[in-house]
Structure 1
């Protein structure tokens, strides 16, 4: 299994990366293209949330 074969997820229940079938999708973030992308899921979400908040502040 290579790092770039798709369907990588970050499980919010177990706080770990999963590949392919795993925990229910309602408990996961993804899919991501690589294991590295999935392992960075929480940081990516944090960055996106900050950007959205900044955009909302600009719209006020």
Structure 2
């Protein structure tokens, strides 16, 4: 069993270490479930970064 999991952007599927080239994947992730949530995790992080940028630029509600 693999210790690392990847999310393949070409096939939109979770893969073990033996899979598509890393240039086509996101990861590695410690579990199959975490790899399956890769797109949501990336979207959530992007939202957090955008909020941080707004706060940094002085555009926040603070």
Measured after TM superposition, the shift of residue 6 of structure 1 is 1.8
Measured after TM superposition, the shift of residue 47 of structure 1 is 0.4
Name the counterpart of 1:43.
Answer: 40
Gap regions ≥5 residues in structure 1: none
CA contact (8 A) 1:30 1:38 kept: yes
Q: TM-score, normalised by structure 2?
A: 0.87
Measured after TM superposition, the shift of residue 40 of structure 1 is 0.3
CA contact (8 A) 1:11 1:27 kept: yes
Gap regions ≥5 residues in structure 2: 58-62
Counterpart check, 1:22 vs 2:50: no
CA contact (8 A) 1:6 1:31 kept: no
Measured after TM superposition, the shift of residue 20 of structure 1 is 1.3
Q: TM-score, normalised by structure 1?
A: 0.89
